[in-house]
Chain A
């Protein structure tokens, strides 16, 4: 993104930054120097085909996986190697792929689990049911018996209940019908309106580009392009098809 020549350039520290991050599973290198910024109050979409290293990037960003080299900066501070729960407790919240809910607990019990962070159940329920009224109707239902979209809503509700400053969303659309994905991204847009910085990882780009402020394409463990959603949309097909 090129800053306008006339506008004064204000260097604001991004809420989340990755600098030259390298990561590996055993001896297999997956990330080969990832640089990415999530500025305050923006939605950043990280796109790329399967195996590009998107989820690994997210795992390193939230502290679930140790970087082999490089730095993870949160609010300008080097937090490389800090544990995920330490960061989550302070407001860097991850919603993992594959609907991170307890399938054998009810909706309400899943929300009770979220009180582990110290919040009151009443506050958590207020946020969850306020954002997702459908969860209130299903609060006594076992989470595993709900639709994929509703489970994803529950996962998001639990994440939001912990009052995040940065939200990391991994493959929100995975295994869901396009209409449900559209509905979920509508909620993501609302969350973004409230000022929470969001990093979204997605394989399927169309819906997420509608809510993103910045988009990036990742290929073979590197960020290959970064820009406005319109710019990135033009490059997507060649990136995915290797053209």
Chain B
């Protein structure tokens, strides 16, 4: 068992200096949930904003409700939907890739097995 002190020390120092973001394993799930909540909040805001615009008596009021209610609601919906698509798609694609890896491994095992059987006992 040899040591490679310089490289290990350098590696340790680099790991030590890494800027790590808080959270960790469940970060994606949280962002997915945040996306769903943002879409929900956006819909509520947009509906409230719409109703207020309809009931507003002056153009100034209508513009204010449009800006604070409807537009903000729509922006939240778009941002939330983007978050949801990004993180749900990432999970789906990862699962799909794992499936591909599993199938390719099973296939390789089958080929190796067939070659071994064809070449007979050693």
Contact = CB atoms under 8 A, between A and B. Distances in A.
Where chain B touches its partner, the secondary structure class is: helix
A91 B105 contact: no
Interface string A42-81: 1000000010000000000000011111000011111111
A165 B25 contact: no
Interface residue tally of chain B, by bracket? 20 to 34
A105 B64 CA distance: 60
Contact of A81 (B2, B27, B101): B27
A165 B18 contact: no
B20 A82 contact: yes
Interface of B: 1-5, 7-8, 10-12, 14-16, 18, 20-21, 23-28, 94-95, 98, 101, 104-105, 108-109, 111-112
B105 A165 contact: no
Contact of A26 (B3, B20, B95): B95
B14 A90 contact: yes
A65 B91 CA distance: 11
A175 interface: yes
Interface residue tally of chain A, by bracket? 35 or more
A98 interface: yes
Contact of A195 (B3, B15, B108, B112): B3
A40 B23 CA distance: 28
A9 B70 CA distance: 67
Interface string A165-177: 1100000001100
22 contacts: A25-B95, A25-B98, A41-B3, A41-B8, A75-B16, A77-B15, A78-B24, A79-B15, A79-B18, A81-B21, A81-B23, A91-B7, A91-B10, A91-B14, A174-B108, A175-B108, A193-B2, A195-B2, A195-B4, A195-B7, A195-B8, A196-B7
Nearest to B98: A25
